[in-house]
Amino acid sequence: MRPQINLRAAARQAMIDRGFRPDFGPEVEAEVAVLRRGTDPAPAPDARDLRNLLWSSIDEVESRDLDQIEVAEPLSGGETRVRVAIADVDSRVHAGSAIDAHAAWNTTSVYTGVAIFPMLPEELSTDLTSLGEGVDRRAMVIDLVVAADGTTRSHDVYPALVRNHAKLDYDAIGAWLEEEGPAPAKVAASADLPAQLRVQDAAAQALRARRYERGALPLETIEARAEMDGETVKGLVVKPKNRARQLIEDFMVAANVAMAAFLEEHHSPWIGRVVRIPQRWGRIVDLAQQLGDELPLEPSARALAEFLDRQHAKDPLRYPDLSLAVVKLLGSGDYVLQKPGQPNEGHFGLAVDDYTHSTAPNRRYADLVTQRLLKGVLAGGGPPYDDSALSAIALRCTEREDEANRVERQVQKQAAAVLLADRVGASFDGLVTGASPKGTWVRILRPPVEGRVMRGEEGLDVGDKVRVRLIGTDPVRGFIDFARD
């Protein structure tokens, strides 16, 4: 019999333990009440009316906090005009407000699988500042012209009034694009939407191919979320990548690169997203040698990308394991202050020099701040934050993101500990995902969970494949303990 634990209560406690504020205070609720009673903010005087374009969103089927919608238009010479509209969250969440203060404290929405802790009150993130279907919304549009070879010919950013004409979901659109499922009802009922989505898909594939040519890493990791039936854990669900998820990822990356370039070109500071040259490159080289391949002794994103491509072709089934090992060895990303005209460390995983986060202002505070910096440029004034404030925001966003990841892992481990409680003594194939003086961790495949190696961990390092035996679980503390077989 599986142990009983209130995972939603456990998730909330994990938030508190990690320094988050899971609940909105009375000052926030009072501001939300005023916004709910008020009228929609008027569009900016120079906003373009783009409501007639066939905008659509693709997200999780249950998502209502929609930050981004897309539309594409074929041009002559094989070029495509791609527009990505980002919810104008700043028009509702003003700097210095109680809502803003709460967002600045948490800096991110936290998705634990059993409960969501939104950065903004749901009345905003899933309604007033969401690009929901069938409503007129203010947005900031990132406008790109993409060539047939995936290069971006031009970019612009401007305010607009938009309307989401179809809320679509990853799984249904992905199956349709890959010809493994029928057209979803909204697609089948539209005369123009099928062709529109095909144009988007083609542009996204060109962008992705070009990104990989530059040396972006084609990583493919497994992410599992707890599946609940009321208060009972039914299992862990893995969301596989498909063409629809890749489409949105490709547009998001292109939009964030364009936003960074736009701010740089207009001499504005901005918050960069950097993934530095990996300090553990030597271990990545060792992994390649174990697989009968070679990498240069000096870090090279292009060489690593080519190695990953070869391994994906050689062993696609185990490729997510290799991707996970590389992700762990690359290290996490950081937010940093970027000043115009000054060199930066770039994003090693994407093989770009200038990158920011701008496409999820309902969910990430860095993106909301980027939106305010953009508005400062468009208004012709100075930035709304000085360098000291931006540095502090960047540091806070990095620190909170790391803690959010810890909360999510903690709750996932608690759910997994419930599932595995009756399998103590069973053996599993695993992959070492962490090795330090603090301990050694391994991830097993079925179910896809991570635990600590308590016995026999000597000599193990990240990326090693190992056979382990489950020796104990503690759902309350989220402990899953293994011994090396």
Domain ranges of the chain: 7-275+347-414, 281-331, 424-484
Q: Which amino acid is at 467?
A: R
Question: Distance between terminal CA atoms of the chain?
Answer: 26
* Closest among 317, 325, 320, 316 to 290, alpha carbons compared: 325
| DSSP β-bridge partners for residue 364 | 108
Residue indicated by tokens 């409501």 = 51
C-alpha–C-alpha distance, residues 8 and 476, integer Å: 12
Amino acid at 218: P
- Residue 242 in this model has a pLDDT that exceeds 70: yes
Average pLDDT across the chain, whole number: 93
pLDDT at 445 over 90: no
Residue 406: CB partners within 8 Å, gap ≥ 6? 18
CB 270 within 8 A of CB 290: no
Tell me the per-residue pLDDT of 370-390, one tens digit each, with 9 for 90 and over.
999 999 999 998 899 999 999
Please report the pLDDT score of residue 2 as a whole number.
Answer: 58
pLDDT of res. 332: 87
Closest CA to 415 of 2, 3, 7: 7
Q: Per the structure block, which two tokens stand in for 252? A: 């998001």
Cα dihedral 347→245→164→127 (10° resolution): -80
Q: Looking at residues 442-470, what average pLDDT do you find?
A: 91
Contact 58, 131 (CB under 8 A): no
Q: Is the pLDDT of residue 257 over 80?
A: yes
Instruction: Specify the residue for token string 């949105």.
Output: 248
What does the pLDDT read at residue 233?
74
Averaged over 417-427, what is the pLDDT?
A: 91
Q: Which residue has the higher pLDDT, 168 or 42?
A: 168
Highest CATH level, class, for 424-484:
mainly beta
Could you tell me the two tokens for 411? 């709750």
Predicted confidence (pLDDT) at residue 366 exceeds the cutoff of 70: yes
Residue type at 245? R
Give per-residue pLDDT as tens, 137-196.
999 999 999 999 999 999 999 999 999 999 999 999 999 999 999 999 999 999 999 999
List phi, psi (to 5°) of 196: -60, -45
Judge whether residue 221 has pLDDT over 90: no
- Amino acid identity of residue 449, one-letter, is V
326 SS3 class: helix
Tokens of 289: 């040698």
Beta strands in 312-424 (DSSP E): 334-338
**Range 236-261 average pLDDT:** 92
